[in-house]
Amino acid sequence: MSGTLAPSSPALPLCTPATARRGSGLPRVREAVEPVVRERIGVAGGHGFYPAPHRYALYLTPRRADALRVAVTVRLLGLAETLALVPLDGPGSPAYESLRRSYEATRRHYAGPLAVPALCDRWTGRVVSNHTPDILRDLHGRFGPGESAECGACALRPAALGAGTDRLEAAWDFAGAVPGTGPLDALAARLRHAPYVLGERLTAADVDAWSALVALGALPETGGAPHQALATHPGRGVLTAWARGLADRPAFKEALAEGYGVG
């Protein structure tokens, strides 16, 4: 599930819902429930929302693990020149107002929170999806794998590892809960015997786990002390060393540098 704009969030939650308002003392939000828009990208040359270069924009809120996942994935798939990544600033900013208009075009008279990440169609002015798992799957299945300088034609969701990737994504609970020891135990155990979460190759499972660790404070430069779940974990050394290794790779480093992982 996606989160909502929290322009003054001091830390990097996994995906804690917050509510965006237009300015201070603004009208009460009429729709309290976070909107879920779950259209999908179709096949190339088809009807509706089909993949085309420069057609779509991805609105992302800095300091959120779900935005970090998307920003890293776009770079790993070589899609940085195909999809626009738009950092969502506070109410009144051009990006905020543009996304607000997209929600209003999608749902008439909509005045609720602006859920992000949001994949928006520039041609129709509508929100395609604000459901992060669907967005990530469409990035790979419909737009990618593209060619990137970092890993060539990167298949982050290989069919043979699809079930494992989905299972581990669910374990991190990006709906906002801090993971217990179970996911951290399993991740540390895997990383003691392999360079990546699912073995010898980088997959979406690594992007998910890394984003979760960054949210828990695995990298000092993102600000704040490590969350207790990580700080007291017996595998902290393994986990933080692995997180540091990925943070030094271009796609991960660029996403951090652009503020998506800064507390």
Domains, the chain, ranges and CATH? 3-152 (3.40.30.10), 159-257 (1.20.1050)
Look at residue 44 in the predicted model and tell me its pLDDT: 62
Q: 28-59, pLDDT tens digit by residue? A: 333 445 668 989 998 666 668 988 899 999 99
**Which residues are paired to 118 by β-bridges?**
59
Look at residue 15 in the predicted model and tell me its pLDDT: 32
Low-confidence ranges of the chain (pLDDT < 50): 1, 5-32, 147-149, 152-153, 175-177
Give the angle 54-120-53 at the CA atoms, nearest 5°: 15
Tokens of 204: 């979406």
Three-state DSSP class for residue 20: coil
Look at residue 4 in the predicted model and tell me its pLDDT: 53
Look at residue 234 in the predicted model and tell me its pLDDT: 95
Q: 192-216, pLDDT tens digit by residue? A: 999 999 999 899 999 999 999 998 8
* Cα–Cα distances in angstroms (integers) from residue 238 to residues 58, 163, 184, 195, in the given order: 33, 25, 10, 11
Q: What is the DSSP letter of 38?
A: B
Tokens of 198: 């699912």
Tokens of 123: 């041609």
Tokens of 231: 């700080």
